[in-house]
Each structure stands twice: as C-alpha cells, then as structure tokens.
Amino acid sequence: MSISPLKETIPKLDPPNNTSLHPPPSPSTHRTLRRLKSAHVLGSSVSQPSLISQQHKQSLNRNFSPTRKVTNPPPGAHTRTRSNSDANVMSPALSSPISRRPQMKRASPVEGSTLDRLIRDGPTEGDLERGLESMRLKILDQGVKSDGDGMSSLRIYVWLVLLNAPVLETDEYLSLIHRGASPAYSKIRNDTFRTLATDPLFRRRVSEASLIRLLNAVAWKLHDAKGERSEVQMRLTNTANIYGSPELQHATPAKGRSRATTLTNDGSDAGKSEPGTYVQGMNVLAAPFLYAARSEAEAFIAFHQFITTECPGYVRGAMDGVHKGLALVDKVLAIVDPKLSLYLIGKGMNAELYAFPSVLTLCACTPPLPEVLRLWDFLFAYGAHLNILCIVAQLVILRNSILNSPSPTKILRSFPPLQADIVKEVTLTLVKKIPDDIYAEIVIHAK
C-alpha cells in the first residue's frame, strides 16, 4: 500500500450501488502492444516507432492521479488513449507503520467527490490523506463502477494510485520485450497456456502472447534487480577483504577465505531473501492486471509494483510468504471459529491442503473473474494481507456445509463461486476478533 490507513471502527457495508455504468472501451482497441510481438518472436526488432512512442511528447496533466489529458487526434488517426501507467508517486512521508490496522471508520467524504473525479482532478486542495481516505470509503461502500464482465475504464487507475505505482515510460516496457527470452522464459511458457483456462471472459479478452510478454518483461526486471544487488554485495565484500573485517583479522588465510565465502553466500540473510525471476503461480497473479488494464504497460507496472512491495515473499523460490500465510489461515480460523477449526483438523485437513492456491493468488483462482476484481479493489484499498481473512471468511460462509459433510475434502477441493460483497462483509467482522499480535503477523507475512 502506498499509505496504510489506520483502523478504529468497522462500518457496515451499504447495499451495492446500482447506478448506471459507463460502458468501458473495448479491449480490442486498447491492446496495440499485442500486435507488436508474438510469443515466439520476443527478440525481433520493430521497424517503426509504436503509437505510444509517437505520443510520448504529449503534454501531461498529473496531480495525485495517473490521469492524462489527451489532445484530439487528427482525422483518421487511431483514437486509443495513451497508456496512463506512469502514475505520480505518493509522498512516502505520509506512510504509517504497517503493523497498524487499516482505518475503516466513517468519515465525511470530500464534498461532491466521486472515484472518477478523484482520479481525474486529484483531491480537493491537494489533501492526499483525505483524498485517499475518501477513495477507500467509496470503494468499500460503492465499489468501482463496472459492467457485468467486470470491465471498467477506471479500475486500473484506482489500482495504480492505491499501489503507489511509480512512473513508467512505455518505451521502457517495450525495451524489456525487445530483449528477447528471459532466463525464466521456458518456465513461463509451461504455465501461461493453462492460466484461467476455464474462464471464458479471460480467454476472450487476454491472449496468451500478451501474458507471456508481461511475465517475460517482469522476469527481466527482477533479473536486473537481482544482478544489481549481487554487484553491491560483491563490492562490499571486496572492501571488507581489503581493509580487514573483524571476522578476518585473527584468521589464517585459508580460514579467512572460507569465512568470507560464508558471509557472502550461504550465511547471507540477503541471499536467503533473494526473490526469483519467476515462480509458478505468478501467471495467475498477473491475469487480473492484464484483464483490468487498458494496455500491457499499465498491467506491467501495476503487477511489478504489487509483487515487489506487497507480496515479495510469495514470489521467492521457497515461497516462504505463502507458507506463512497458510499457517495464519489455520491460526485465524482457530480464533474465530474453534469448532470448525477442530473439525477440519480432525479430518486431517489443514490449510496447506486446501488454501494454497487461494493464498498464492489472492483468491484469483476462484471464479468468476468479475468478483475477483471487486475483491481486489477492497484488498488494494485496505491491504493485500487481508486476503488471509478473506479465505477464512469463505470457510465461515461454508461452515454448515463443511460440518455436515463426512468428507469436507470434496467441498474444499475447489471453493464455490466467489461472492465479493459477502466475503468483504464477513471479513470486516472477523477483523475485530483478531488479537493485535496475530494481526501484526498477518500484515507482514508476505514481505
């Protein structure tokens, strides 16, 4: 989260807003990048600048939100809105300690403000804290306006703001694509073809080639960051060897070399927390970003920001954040519903057996996709760590069916269709029951 809110009271959710929706633009007119490269020719060059590159020098209008002002195109020109993925970075000075609970108390929203107005014009009088608070409350009470397929021209910009996504020039994304196959390319290709394979909405709107390009670009970005950290570590090690670190001062040369190797490799805490470039499950995590975004560049910067700031522990080789999350699912369920917890344990069912996909993908593995998007609006507004409570909320909703079933494995093999509004409402009631120390564990488990 860019600015973690503080929680004091829990509001009751108002009935869903049934106001008329603005029809979103067709994704087919907003995915020009997909025609640049196929999945098999990532490294080939482009003979002419892309449309977005030609629009690169257009004047920008950025104030708090990533919205741009686009001039009218000449007759016959392509009318696709330029990628708005280069959102302004929120001021880190407004950040609050992550161990605090999100504040969901009622507050008088900015007068006359709506989500689209907040994104377009920014907060009244430049008050970022009040603007973000108003945005969160509107997401909680009304949600992001979308059609029956979950398509919204506003959602991706709300996500970019809430994730505090940095500025990204689209040419930077294109340069990552033009580098060709990353070291993780074969692993990516092994997963992309089965990403949300049974979801007709996703398969109709997002091509496999688009998903491959995005994941390959992210893999290059993580690969470069990993190389930079290795170079910094090497320079620090060389400096220590030249001037003599305390560990080496009284050691023999052979022992000194051995100790230096241990310090920089096996015994390095940084080495243990090094993120990989791709792990299985990142394909499903990336899918909603591509579905909601109006360009691959927007999806790229939002997804990269999410996995590197919100849940880096989920994409490490050992997936330690996911396993911590699974342990917390068991722990939270034992707190909020001891009877249900004991029944599942008695059947030999802990969270590792049924909740692994839901933890890893923030419930994106549970259809339908429009409901996943609505749940993600809530998670990005108040903290992705609340996904742990959302999973427990789904168990509580299924409580009677589970307790009355002699074999709950059949019920939990695949969760019933997601109902975002009900899950959110139950989650907000569960927040009150979690002790502060357990809640602090939930907040940091994915870091």
Average pLDDT for 230-237: 56
Give pLDDT, residue 226: 82
Q: Which 3-state string (H, E, C) describes 51-89? A: HHHHCCCCCCCCECECCCCCCCCCCCCCCCCCCCCCCCC
| 329-347 pLDDT tens trace | 999 999 999 999 999 999 9
What are residue 26's phi and psi, to 5 degrees?
-65, 130
* Residue 3 near residue 129, CB atoms below 8 Å: yes
With 60 as the cut, is the pLDDT of residue 85 above it?
no
- DSSP codes, 124-150: GGG-HHHHHHHHHHHHHHT-----TT-
Average pLDDT for 22-35: 46
Strand partners, 65: 63
Q: Among 382, 278, 372, which Cα is nearest to 4's?
A: 382
* Residue 312 near residue 285, CB atoms below 8 Å: no
State the Cα–Cα distance between residues 145 and 152, nearest whole angstrom: 6
CA 160, chain centre distance (Å) = 10
How many angstroms separate the Cα of 322 from the Cα of each of 53, 134, 361, 367, 412?
Answer: 39, 31, 10, 20, 18
| 178-214 pLDDT tens trace | 999 999 999 999 999 999 999 999 999 999 999 999 9
On the CB side of 211, CA atoms within 13 Å amount to 29
| 47-73 pLDDT tens trace | 444 444 444 444 434 444 343 344 444
Hunting for tokens 């909020």 — which residue is that?
336
Give pLDDT, residue 18: 44
- DSSP codes, 420-439: HHHHHHHHHHHHTTS-HHHH
* Residue 22 near residue 153, CB atoms below 8 Å: yes
| 88-103 pLDDT tens trace | 434 433 444 445 566 5
Residue 152's pLDDT band, with cuts at 50, 70 and 90, is: very high
- List CB contacts of 174: < 8 A, sequence separation 6 or more: 33, 36, 46, 50, 53
How many angstroms separate the Cα of 333 from the Cα of each of 317, 346, 429?
Answer: 27, 14, 13
* Residue 418 near residue 367, CB atoms below 8 Å: yes
With 90 as the cut, is the pLDDT of residue 1 above it?
no
Residue 128's pLDDT band, with cuts at 50, 70 and 90, is: confident
Average pLDDT for 208-224: 96
Give 111's DSSP letter: T
Sign of CA dihedral 381, 385, 391, 393: negative
Domains and CATH numbers, the chain: 311-444 (1.10.472.80)
Give pLDDT, residue 317: 81
113 compared with 63, residue with greater pLDDT = 113
Average pLDDT for 124-144: 89
Give pLDDT, residue 162: 96
- List CB contacts of 1: < 8 A, sequence separation 6 or more: 162, 163, 164, 310, 380, 383, 384
260 compared with 410, residue with greater pLDDT = 410
Q: Among 340, 329, 347, which Cα is nearest to 434's?
A: 329
Q: Among 447, 306, 328, which Cα is nearest to 391's?
A: 328
With 50 as the cut, is the pLDDT of residue 283 above it?
yes
Give pLDDT, residue 185: 96
Give pLDDT, residue 118: 87
138 compared with 248, residue with greater pLDDT = 138
Largest CA distance in the chain: 78
* Residue 379 near residue 391, CB atoms below 8 Å: no
Residue 420's pLDDT band, with cuts at 50, 70 and 90, is: very high
Give pLDDT, residue 256: 37
Give pLDDT, residue 117: 87
pLDDT averaged over every residue in the chain: 76
With 70 as the cut, is the pLDDT of residue 105 above it?
no
* Residue 31 near residue 210, CB atoms below 8 Å: yes
Give pLDDT, residue 221: 95
With 60 as the cut, is the pLDDT of residue 215 above it?
yes
Alpha helix locations (H) across 293-368?
Answer: 296-305, 320-336, 338-346, 351-354, 356-361
Hunting for tokens 């109902």 — which residue is that?
419
Give pLDDT, residue 102: 61
* Residue 176 near residue 251, CB atoms below 8 Å: no
Least confident among 35-44, 130-139, 254-263, 283-292: 254-263
Average pLDDT for 28-41: 43
Peptide bond connecting 368 to the previous residue in cis, omega within 30 degrees of 0:
yes
Average pLDDT for 116-139: 88
Strand partners, 122: none
Between helix 128-141 and helix 369-382 the angle, nearest 10°, is 150
Give pLDDT, residue 86: 42
Strand partners, 275: 316
* Residue 264 near residue 237, CB atoms below 8 Å: yes
Percent of the chain with pLDDT over 70: 64
With 50 as the cut, is the pLDDT of residue 400 above it?
yes
With 90 as the cut, is the pLDDT of residue 78 above it?
no
